[in-house]
Structure 1
C-alpha cells in the first residue's frame, strides 16, 4: 500500500491510495494496471504491459511525411488503451465483476480494427483486482488467480491462439516442434532484398530505420526487405505499451551506458549489448500474412529463420505467440510486429522484427531490467530467474555471432526465390536520421507511458 494523498475537506478526511497489479496469461502476455483509488472507487488508472496490438484498420501513412506517426499511426492503439483505462475508472467499490467485464469488453469491441493480442478482458479484470488489493494492503479475492478467470486465450497443438466465447479457462498443451526447412509458397514471389547495416547505428537510429523502411515498403517505394542490424551501443528497448518505470531501472541503465528507447511495436523489453545480440527486421507486403491469425503470422515471418538456424545446426522452434525457442522451451529470442496500411494500389507492409540472444550477462540484465515475478511463474519448468529462462545461442553452438549472422544472410539468399543483396538508400538514411532526433530521442516519446 502506498498512501499518496490525504485531504481534509470540511472535517471529512479522504484518503487516496495507489497500487499496481499484474496478470500474465499462460502462453500469452502480461498486462499491468496501476490505480489511484479512494473509498468510493478508482480515481485514475493506467494500463501497460508487453501485450501486442495489431492495427488492422490503420491510417494511410504513405505520403512521404516522416511525421505522420504523431497524428495518425498511433491513434488507434492508444485510443483502445485510453478507453480501457476509462472503463476501469468507471468502477465503484465494491467492484461488480459482471459489469466490469461488460465495460472492458465493450471498450475492446469499440475498436474492431485494433486487435488486442496475448491478453484478455478477464486478465485486465484480474490485474485491476490485484492493483486495488495492493493499494488497500489487502489480499485479492482468493478466486482471483491467473489460472482462473484471467485466462481466455487457448492455444491448440497447431499453435493457433483463440479466445473461447465464454472467456473460460482453457489452455490445450502446446509442444513446440521444429518448423519444416522447406519454405512455404508465400515466400516464392517476394523478390526479397537482403541488407546488412554497413555501419553501427545508434539505438534511436535503429528504431527510426524500422519505421522509415516499413513506410517505404508500404508505399511501394522499397522492395520487400530483410535487414540485419548493426547495433551502435548498448540499449534497453521497451515495447510500445510498456511502462518505463515498470520495466527499467533508468539510473542503473545510465550508469552502465545503456540507452533506453521505445519502439513502435508491442511486446517486451529487449536487453541489448552489440556483441551479444542478433537482430533482424523483415518488411513484407500485407498480403504476405493474409488470412493468418496472429500466431501463424509470427510463425510464417520467421519460417526462413528456423530454416537458416537448422542449417547452422541450431534446433530452433516457434513457441507461440511470438518467441524463437529451444525444443526444451528455453527462450532464444522474441518477435514483434506492426502493420502499415497501404493506400489504393500500394502494398502496405508488415514490419516483423526479432532480437535473439547470442550471449547474455544475467547479472547486468537483472540490475537494469525489472523482471516481473508474475511472468516467471508461467515459464517452462517453473524456472526461477530470467537468466535461466533465456538460453542464448552461444550455449547451443560453437559458431561466433558474426558466423551466425552471415550464415543466416547467406541462407536467405540461397533459399528465398529471387532474393538478392542490396543496401539502404541514402534518402531513407536521411529520413531515419531526422526521425531518430525528432521522435526516438525525445523523452516525451520514450516516457509516453511513465
Structure 2
C-alpha cells in the first residue's frame, strides 16, 4: 500500500509517505493500521479490522437515527478514534514500551467497550509494520507477532500465546449433549420467523437493527429469524475498511451490493442460493455473566444441536466460528448489545452466516484476502494457501439441500426450545426497516465510514 506524495506550503516541500500494517492474533482477529507520515512523524492514522467490540454502553437508538453522526455512533467508535489519536501522538522512532502503555490506557478509558479478538500488543505491531511499509523498511524479521525480537514483539507473542491456549482449552472443553439445551433457553418464549419474501441487503441490515431495538424495548418477543436474501452481497464488519476488504469495481460488475453491518467481525460473501443466515434476538440477561467465547457458544447452542440432528458434525471454534471437526470454517457469528430503557429487557443481537456452497474464484475476485490471516494455523490444521481451501461449506458435509437444512433447523428449534412457537415480522417493523434501509444502509457515507 506504500504511496508517496508531496505537500508544498509555499517555502518548504514535505514528503508524505503512506503505509499499512496488519497483525493477526492466533485464534483471534486481525487488526490493521494505515498511516501517513512526514519527516517528523505520523500525521494521520486509521485503525480497522475484523475484531469485535462488545459495546456495553450502547443504549440503543432513537427511531430511524443513530446517536451522533455516521462517524461516531457510540463508544465503540469513540474507542477507535482515541486509539487513532494515540497512534498519531507517537514520536518516530517509536518507544514501543511507552506506546503499548498508551494504547492500554486508551482502551482502559472506555470500560463500556470491550475489545475482543485483538490486543494492545497487536495494535503496536500493526503500527510498526505500517510505518515500516511507509518508509520502505523491512521489519518482518524483528516485529512479527509469533517470533522473538523486539520487546513489543515478545510481549505480543506472550499475549497471543495466552489467548491461543485459552481458546484451545475452551474448544476442548466438554460440549453439552446435542439434544440438550442449557437452562438459559427455558422460558424464552422464542418466536421462530422465516422471512416471508426476499429482502435486499440494505433491508436485511435494517431489519436486524429494528428487530433488536424492538426486543430491547420489550415491544417484540425474543426471536429467531431465518433470512431470505434478495440479492448477492458483500457484507463488511462495522470496523472494517471497504478498500481493504473489497474490490468495489469488481463487486459492482458482478452484481454484488456492498453493505456495512452494525456488528464487528469479517466480510461475508453472500449469494442467496449459497448462503444460510439467521439472527437471534434475546434479552440481555440471556448471556449475563458469560465471557465472549461462552456467549457465542451459548447463542449457537441450538444451532449445533440442529446441525447434529441433521447429521452435520459442526463444532464451535473460538471466538465466534462454526467449523468442521477438522477445523474448516462453515460460518461465523457476530454480536451487538442493545440496552433497554426504564426497566426494558435490552437485547443481544447474535447473527450467523454459514456457507452452503461457495464460488471460490468469484470470492477471490471480489474480496481482498489478507495474507496475514492465511499464514496462521487453525486448531493445528496446516495453514492454507487460499481462503477457498479454508472454508468448508455445508454442501461438502451433507447431501441435504440448502432449503432442507433451513427447514430442518427451524423445525428443530421449534421442537427442542421450550416455549418456542412460529412467529411473523410485524408490519410496523417492516415499515421502520424500509425507512432505515434507505436512510442509513443504502447511504455511501455509512458504508464508507471507514474508507
Could you state the TM-score of these two structures normalised by the residue count of structure 1? 0.94
> Mapping of 1:267-416 within 5 angstroms?
267-380=265-378, 381-416=382-417
Aligned length: 437
In the TM superposition, residue 141 of structure 1 has moved relative to its aligned partner by 6.0
Against the structure 1 CA distance between its residues 230 and 69, is the aligned structure 2 distance closer, same or farther, given a 3 Å change threshold?
Answer: farther
More divergent stretch after superposition (136-145 vs 343-352): 136-145
Against the structure 1 CA distance between its residues 376 and 173, is the aligned structure 2 distance closer, same or farther, given a 3 Å change threshold?
Answer: farther
Secondary structure (helix, strand or coil) at the match of 2:82 reads helix
More divergent stretch after superposition (282-291 vs 147-156): 147-156
In the TM superposition, residue 41 of structure 1 has moved relative to its aligned partner by 1.1
**Residue 33 (str. 1) matches residue 30 (str. 2):** no
Against the structure 1 CA distance between its residues 437 and 24, is the aligned structure 2 distance closer, same or farther, given a 3 Å change threshold?
Answer: same
In the other structure, the counterpart of 2:150 is none
Secondary structure (helix, strand or coil) at the match of 1:68 reads coil
Secondary structure (helix, strand or coil) at the match of 1:310 reads helix
In the other structure, the counterpart of 1:421 is 422
Secondary structure (helix, strand or coil) at the match of 1:423 reads coil
Residue 180 of structure 1 is aligned with which of 173, 177, 181?
177
1:281-326, CA deviations, whole angstroms, 9 ceiling, x for partnerless residues? 0000000000000010000000000000000000000000000000
**Residue 138 (str. 1) matches residue 143 (str. 2):** no
In the TM superposition, residue 143 of structure 1 has moved relative to its aligned partner by 2.9
In the TM superposition, residue 30 of structure 1 has moved relative to its aligned partner by 0.2
In the TM superposition, residue 371 of structure 1 has moved relative to its aligned partner by 0.3
Contact 2:377 2:383 in 1 (8 A): yes
CA distance in structure 2 between the aligned counterparts of 1:305 and 1:374, rounded to whole angstroms: 30
In the TM superposition, residue 174 of structure 1 has moved relative to its aligned partner by 5.0
Contact 2:441 2:447 in 1 (8 A): yes
1:360-391, CA deviations, whole angstroms, 9 ceiling, x for partnerless residues? 00000000000000001114311110000000
> Mapping of 1:12-161 within 5 angstroms?
12-61=12-61, 65-70=63-68, 74-140=73-139, 142-148=141-147, 149=153, 150-151=156-157, 152-153=159-160, 154-155=162-163
CA distance in structure 2 between the aligned counterparts of 1:115 and 1:129, rounded to whole angstroms: 24
Against the structure 1 CA distance between its residues 327 and 342, is the aligned structure 2 distance closer, same or farther, given a 3 Å change threshold?
Answer: same
Structure 2, gaps ≥5 residues long: 148-152
Could you state the TM-score of these two structures normalised by the residue count of structure 2? 0.93
Contact 1:50 1:242 in 2 (8 A): yes
In the TM superposition, residue 142 of structure 1 has moved relative to its aligned partner by 2.8
1:209-245, CA deviations, whole angstroms, 9 ceiling, x for partnerless residues? 0000000000000000000000000000000000000
Please provide the CA RMSD for this pair: 1.8
In the TM superposition, residue 147 of structure 1 has moved relative to its aligned partner by 1.1
Against the structure 1 CA distance between its residues 177 and 355, is the aligned structure 2 distance closer, same or farther, given a 3 Å change threshold?
Answer: farther
Against the structure 1 CA distance between its residues 412 and 9, is the aligned structure 2 distance closer, same or farther, given a 3 Å change threshold?
Answer: closer
